[in-house]
Chain A
Amino acid sequence: MKIRPLFILFCVLVLVAQKVIFSDALMVVANQYPLMIFVLPLIILALPINFDKPLLLISAFVIGLTLDIFNDTLGINTFALVMMAYFRSSILNLVQPRQGYKTDNSGYKSYGIGWISIYLGVCLFIFSFTFFMIDAFTLVYLKRVLISSAMSTLVSLPFGVLLLMIFKA
């Protein structure tokens, strides 16, 4: 827990990045599929594997709400982020390496780039799908939402992989 100040700085940096650089859709593919780069979920995803779940949910709520307040999209990021935080532990169970998770807190780097990509990919997809779904708020655009979230996940993935490779939890 000695890295706490550093982690808060990291949170602030990601929030600012999401707000300033990636605040709007990067581009709208084929005039109907908005493409967004999500870096916000990386705050939650970069937390240690054995992080306390209720605490994780509350931090997801606070972080999402912070961005929402600045973005004037109250609740949307919060909802998606809490959703992703809730399912993070299940996904971690699902993609568990054969020898289990290490207990020495050595960070995500040690599991290899392939594992990180799967873990991030699934989590980011959940986040972006929820995000676009809440944005549309109806089931009518389900196909559009699915395509948008798949593409956004792909675009956001390199950032996450890069971050987890250089950043020690």
Chain B
Amino acid sequence: MFRFFKIFQNFGATILFIFLECIAIFLIIRFNKGQSEIFLHSSNEIVADLVRQQSKIKQSLDLKEQNDDLLLQNAQLIEELVNEKIKTTRDSSDIEKKYEVLPAIIINSTIHTLNNYITLDKGVKDGLKKSMGVIGDKGIVGVINQVSNKYSTVISLLNINLRIAASIKAKEHSGYLTWSGGDYLHYKLNGIPKYANIVIGDEVITSGYSSIFPKGIKIGKIETYEVIRGGAFYDITVRSYQDLTQTSLVYVVKNNDFEEINELENLNEN
């Protein structure tokens, strides 16, 4: 209390001065038209600016949320697209959703070895299982290999052990796509018979024969092809749309009939 008086003793005149000037300013703004208009105008401008800044900050804080929303939306759209294709090909409107699509984020990936794997931030608790297909925004990425509770690993398309059932668009020949190491944009398409009429630039899509990927997902374009002498098949080089070195968001395709199909096929083998 004594301190307070001391401060007032030292700065009393200044405090009084500020107080009186505040009253004067208030009177000026309250009772003078010109000044009050200027004051209102500039304060409105300041307030508007503040509001704008605030909304900017809020927007950037919401970016993560918005991103997740968009990812989910994308997944839903892909899902619809994939299921729509099945509907039109089978010409029945009442089949239930065969494929479900879930978004996931790549948290780790290798590209330099011959057996490359990708790690995703989704696992069992998000409904992921072994042997589900993984696609990116432009093409396919790989197949899920191991699943833990929260994470899963994907056999990347850049893995010499992975074979993807693929076909050439609008031509009914189907083969399988493999990677032979080295260049991460070029793949080999094997199993297309020599009599097939193919052209450079033809689009390569998934064939839908493997129950991992739905039919018709784009993979890439034919860049070169040659006939192996004495062989029955073409040797086709495909340039992939999806650059796996620059992929961070992927979509996991879940085939609801996968287990049923698998069981049936296993019966055949036994």
Contact B17 A68 (CB under 8 A): no
**Known contacts A83-B21, A137-B34, A54 near B13 by CB under 8 Å:** yes
Interface positions, chain B 27-51, Cβ under 8 Å from A, are 27-32, 34-35, 38-39, 42
A83 CB contacts on chain B under 8 angstroms: 21
Q: Do the beta carbons of B38 and A138 come within 8 Å of each other?
A: yes
Asked if B249 lies at the interface with its beta carbon under 8 angstroms from chain A, I say no
Number of A residues, CB within 8 Å of B:
22
Q: B26 contacts which of A57, A65, A75 (Cβ < 8 Å)? A: A75
Per-position binary interface string of chain B over residues 15-28, scored 1 when its CB falls under 8 Å from any chain A CB and 0 otherwise: 01100110111111
Whether the Cβ atoms of A76 and B38 lie closer than 8 Å is no
A58 in contact with B31 (CB, 8 Å): no
A128 within 8 A of B: no
Please pick, from B12, B20, B32, the residue contacting A73 in the complex, using a CB distance under 8 A. Answer: B32
Chain A residues contacting B14 (CB-CB under 8 Å) are: 86
* Shortest distance from the beta carbon of A72 to any chain B beta carbon, whole Å: 8
CB contact under 8 A between A58 and B32, given known A53-B13, A79-B25, A138-B38: no
Contacting residues, chain A, for B13 (C-beta < 8 A): 53-54, 57, 86
Supposing A82-B17, A134-B35 touch, asked if A76 and B28 sit within 8 A by C-beta, the answer is: yes
CB distance from A134 to the nearest CB of B (A): 6
From A64, A74, A134, B31 is in contact (CB under 8 Å) with A74
What's the Cα separation between A78 and B23 when bound, in Å? 9
**Residues B12 and A75 in contact, CB atoms below 8 Å apart:** no
**Interface positions of A from 50 to 80, Cβ below 8 Å from B:** 53-54, 57-58, 60-61, 64-65, 68, 73-76, 78-79
A74 x B20 contact (CB < 8 A): no
Could you list 19 A-B pairs, sorted by A, with CB under 8 Å? Answer: A54-B13, A54-B16, A58-B20, A60-B20, A61-B20, A68-B27, A75-B25, A75-B32, A76-B24, A76-B28, A76-B32, A78-B23, A79-B21, A79-B24, A82-B24, A83-B21, A86-B13, A137-B28, A138-B38
Given contacts A54-B16, A82-B21, 20 further A-B contacts (CB under 8 A): A53-B13, A54-B12, A57-B13, A57-B20, A58-B16, A58-B20, A61-B20, A74-B27, A75-B25, A75-B29, A75-B30, A76-B24, A76-B28, A76-B32, A82-B17, A83-B21, A86-B17, A134-B28, A137-B28, A137-B38
